[in-house]
Structure 1
Amino acid sequence: MAKVRLSAAAWGLSAVAAGTLVVGCSVSVNTGHAKPKILKDKLGDTVATRLAATTGQPKPDVTCPEDLVGEAGTTTRCTLTTGDGSTLGVTVTVTSVDGDNVNFHIKADETATPAAN
Structure 2
Amino acid sequence: MTRRLTAVALAAGLTVAVTGCTKSVPANDLEKQVKSGLTKSVGQAPDSVDCPKDLKGKVGATARCTLKAEGKTYGLTVTVTSVDGGKVKFDIKVDDSPKS
Instruction: Please state which structure has a larger fraction of its residues in helix.
Output: 1
TM-score (norm 1): 0.78
Aligned to 2:37: 50
Q: Aligned in 2, Cα 1:59/1:112: closer, same or farther, shift over 3 Å?
A: closer
Q: How does 1:90-105 map to 2 (within 5 A)?
A: 90-105=76-91
Matches within 5 A, 1:1-117: 10-11=1-2, 13-20=3-10, 22=11, 25-84=12-71, 86-114=72-100
**Runs of 4+, deviation exceeding 3 Å:** none
Structure possessing the higher radius of gyration over alpha carbons? 1
Unpaired stretches in structure 2, ≥5 consecutive residues: none
Q: In structure 2, how many angstroms separate the alpha carbons of the residues matched to 1:17 and 1:55? A: 9
TM-score (norm 2): 0.90
2:4 is aligned with what amino acid? S
1:61-92 deviation per Cα after TM superposition (whole angstroms, max 9, x unaligned): 001010001001111111002353x2101110
Give the share of equivalent positions with the same residue, in percent: 35
How many residues align? The count is 100
Indicate the RMSD between aligned Cα atoms, in angstroms.
1.4
Instruction: Say which SS state the counterpart of residue 89 (structure 1) adopts.
Output: strand
* Runs of 5+ unmatched residues, structure 1: 1-9
Write out per-residue CA displacement over residues 24-60 of structure 1, whole angstroms, 9 at most, x where no aligned residue.
x111111112221100011011101110110011343
